[in-house]
């Protein structure tokens, strides 16, 4: 499904708010076409990039830094320290604090975690959380509850969450998150809906969410966005990215 919206607002500052572009992207540990991945991220022109499946093993920091440089960004937090979730940003975003979180682990299942930060973009202050929830239903549901607890613990008026939920909108974990936060695609659909898989997208398991008070100006897979080519989207990862423009009120 593609929503009939022509364009997404650019980043900018207003008298009482900042327009912030946020990208969420599962990059499959950069095992695919890294040049295509960097081109997609750069073309999306996001202030904040919430990564899942960042490099986690040998020389992972160097790999993260190479990706950041190629995409015109800098490393904020996360990666191996969170078992995959990571946050990158442009110089427009100024971190106040970061916190890498490892979640309780079920024996036999992968370690999971959250990359979190509080940043200032213009005169707006925004909490940020990148996540990749479990493939196992019960653990995923528990992690959805922990996600909401960690968003509240950021202790800021406004926040954005992005990630691979491994669940569809009708699933109970997705519904748990969407019941407390605003599902950006549902609020203002733009671009494409489905994120998996790039060659034949048929499900929405990657999403962006906001807390109350943040206005969603548009959200979806950046299909047709200038500089984002279908060949690059297919080559860059086994997921499609989700891009949103948000109006975040000033919090002086």
pLDDT (0 to 100) of residue 15:
86
Under the banding of pLDDT at 50, 70 and 90, the label for residue 58 is confident
111 pLDDT above the threshold of 90: yes
Q: Which tens digit of pLDDT belongs to each residue from 145-175?
A: 999 999 999 999 999 999 999 999 999 999 9
Q: Which tens digit of pLDDT belongs to each residue from 170-200?
A: 999 999 999 999 999 999 999 999 999 999 9
pLDDT (0 to 100) of residue 2:
47
Mapping DSSP onto H, E and C, the string for the chain reads CEECCCCCCCCEECCCEEEEEEEEEECHHHCCCHHHHHHHHHHHCCCEEEEECCCCCCCHHHHHHHHHHHCCCEEEEECHHHCCCEEEECCCEEEEEEEEEECCCCCCCCCCEEEEEEEEECCEEEEEEEEECCCCHHHHHHHHHHHHHHHHHCCCCCEEEEEECCCCCCCHHHHHHHHHCEEHHHHCECEECCCECCCCCCECCEEEEECCCCEEEEEEECCCCCCCCHHHHHHHCCCCCEEEEEEEEECC
Of 41, 16, 5, 24, the closest CA to residue 86 belongs to 24
Tokens 């979806």 belong to 220
Q: Dihedral sign, CA of 217, 17, 99, 41?
A: positive
pLDDT (0 to 100) of residue 12:
95
Q: Which tens digit of pLDDT belongs to each residue from 7-54?
A: 899 999 988 999 999 999 999 999 999 999 999 999 999 999 999 999
Could you tell me what percent of the chain has a pLDDT over 70?
97
pLDDT (0 to 100) of residue 251:
83
Buried b (16+ CB within 10 A) or exposed e, 129-145: bbbbbbeeeebbbbbbe
When mean pLDDT is compared across 1-5, 59-63, 66-70, 123-127, the lowest value belongs to 1-5
Determine contact, residues 191/243, Cβ cutoff 8 Å: yes
Under the banding of pLDDT at 50, 70 and 90, the label for residue 3 is low
Residue 56: how many other CB atoms lie within 10 Å: 17
Looking at every residue in the chain, the average pLDDT score rounds to 96
pLDDT (0 to 100) of residue 28:
96
Of 18, 23, 70, 41, the closest CA to residue 184 belongs to 23
- In angstroms, the CA 140 to CA 132 distance is 9
Of 194, 117, 203, the closest CA to residue 160 belongs to 117
pTM for this prediction: 0.96
Residue 176: how many other CB atoms lie within 10 Å: 20
């Amino acid at each position: 499904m593609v929503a009939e919206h022509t364009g997404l607002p650019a980043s900018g500052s207003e008298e009482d708010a900042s327009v912030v572009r946020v990208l969420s992207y599962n990059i499959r540990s950069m095992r695919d076409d890294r040049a295509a991945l960097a081109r997609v991220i750069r073309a999306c022109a996001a202030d904040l990039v919430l990564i899942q499946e960042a490099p986690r093993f040998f020389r992972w920091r160097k790999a993260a830094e190479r990706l950041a440089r190629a995409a015109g960004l800098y490393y904020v937090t996360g990666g191996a320290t969170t078992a995959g979730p990571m946050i990158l940003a442009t110089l427009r975003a100024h971190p106040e604090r970061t916190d890498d979180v490892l979640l309780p682990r079920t024996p036999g299942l992968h370690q999971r975690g959250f990359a979190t930060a509080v940043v200032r973009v213009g005169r707006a202050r925004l909490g940020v959380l990148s996540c990749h929830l479990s493939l196992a239903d019960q653990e995923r549901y528990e992690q959805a509850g922990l996600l909401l607890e960690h968003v509240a613990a950021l202790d800021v008026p406004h926040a954005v969450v992005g990630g691979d939920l491994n669940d569809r909108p009708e699933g109970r974990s997705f519904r748990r998150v969407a019941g407390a936060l605003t599902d950006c695609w549902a609020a203002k659909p733009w671009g494409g809906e489905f994120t998996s898989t790039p060659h034949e997208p048929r499900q929405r398991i990657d999403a962006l969410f906001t807390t109350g008070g943040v206005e969603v100006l548009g959200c979806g897979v950046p299909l047709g966005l200038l500089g984002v080519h279908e060949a690059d989207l297919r080559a860059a990862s086994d997921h499609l990215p989700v891009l949103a423009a948000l109006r975040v009120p000033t919090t002086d």
